[in-house]
Structure 1
Amino acid sequence: MTEISVATSSLDNQESVRYAVEFAIENGFNGVEFNAPEIYLSKQTLVDLKWAFEMSQEHSLRYTHHFPPSALPGSHVAATRERDLEEFGQEVFVSGELGIEVIVLHPGRLHVPGVEQGEESDDDRALAMEFFTEWVSDAAIEAENAGVIIGLENMHYNPGWVIRSHQELAEAVDRIDSNAVGITFDVGHAWGSGGIDAGIETFGDRIKHVQAHDARGPEGAGNVRDQHMEIGTGVIDWNSTGELVKRGGHVVALETSGRLADREEAVIRSRDVLQKLWA
């Protein structure tokens, strides 16, 4: 059976490890994706971490973790990169102790002091790519020691972002060349930028983890709106993703958090829709 986890961003209480784990157990989810900055694993008490680990063993829960989307691993400012790398290393260490499978990292936005977002030059982006791959290569050493995979998430390939295509993301993983670095395949993001089937084909076995949410709008137009919807309320065709998940045994984290008044009921409905589709 497909294993589906719940992202803490899809819950009413987004700041409690215990709440998330108890929600997953009570509602029959197969795991939890802990989202920072609301949940930094390195800031949890040892009692809560020990309890969460015991629950994962007792209930066969699969844990993943999402580093803050605000991170800037390709920043042109050395102090910013160093700050984020230090924080990431702390999260990786605790992730290893907790049994986290994948820690998700956004390649991030371009950050060039004095330049407006989206106005960066090709040279600015090329340098950011160098900083980004060096940053992840350094982080990969700690991740490998901790037994954790870094999942680089495919984002929206718009001006102002470090990565601008499926192919660039795949090539970045290959350049880093670490067993501790792969791709977190965000289906909704792929639908909005680059295409789902194209992403599955381009990323191949680099995919280590899947995130799911529905979406609508112009397919492939780089859209950042109308994402993180309840499964079945958007326009995504989930067949090829289902084949990917069955083939790779990936845990699927549901990120159905988009402005929903009944977000917890929505994430349960979303899980049920996918399980029926992929049965």
Structure 2
Amino acid sequence: MFYLLNILIQMKILLDKCSLFESLRPFNDLGFVPTMGGIHKGHLSLINKSNRLCKITIVSIFINPKQFNNKKDLKSYPRNIDKDLKILKKTKKVDFVYLPRFEDIYENKKKSKIKINKNDTILCAKYRKGHFEGVLDVMERLTKIVNPKKIFMGEKDFQQLYLVKKRLEKKYKAKIIPCKTIRNKNNVALSSRNSLLNKLNLRVAASIYKKLVNIKKNIKKYKNISKFLNNQKVKLKNNYKIKIDYLELRNKKNLKVSNKTNNSRLFIAYYLNNVRLIDNI
């Protein structure tokens, strides 16, 4: 009994599957928060929700190389494990942190057979070849290892949430729990990649968010929504000197192109200072 209480009081760091299996064996109400590090308030909101809905919370930190379609993006991705662990420990709400090595996750060296359906090759899947195949592969592997009751994921990457929920809930007992996007005081969606931006970049991102709110507000005035969004996309590109992958209105239940604001979200992906940012409202 003392052993179990001691685990709950102190955050325990797990470095391999063996120690994970041994430590998690007594528990069956696990809340899982998968991350790639760069812990921020968005991650903490997932942890808080896990604490409310589950008895035990485990956070993983693993930068998965297989979901990066750009080697430069992988190389520049923020890494500060010591800082991440200090933040997690300070919350006093994390029971376990899993820090696997590549070999621990990809012990089975067989190539993944996961393929994204043509209907799902939209938004980021269209512009980041192989990205979501890598995401789904690692999420399946982590789910098999951790065996959680609930998995907590943010709505900022809504397409990722949609695809993971669609695949994992069919194959595993784990329930995917969507969590609201957390924003800074200027309404910029929190992201680990934001640490690669300077103050001017963040002000531009805040201004773009305001424009997106205005665009969505005015969509219903136009019969040809596709034409309206294309025009707005050109204006954003010219006004802010940015590259935009997409600006689209899609149904939030099936991600099909939508012609009405009800039950829809406005999705954007753009580059600021060579950093790719995504958002949806």
TM-score of the pair, normalised by structure 1: 0.29
Structure number, greater radius of gyration: 2
TM-score of the pair, normalised by structure 2: 0.28
Q: Greater strand percent: which structure?
A: 2
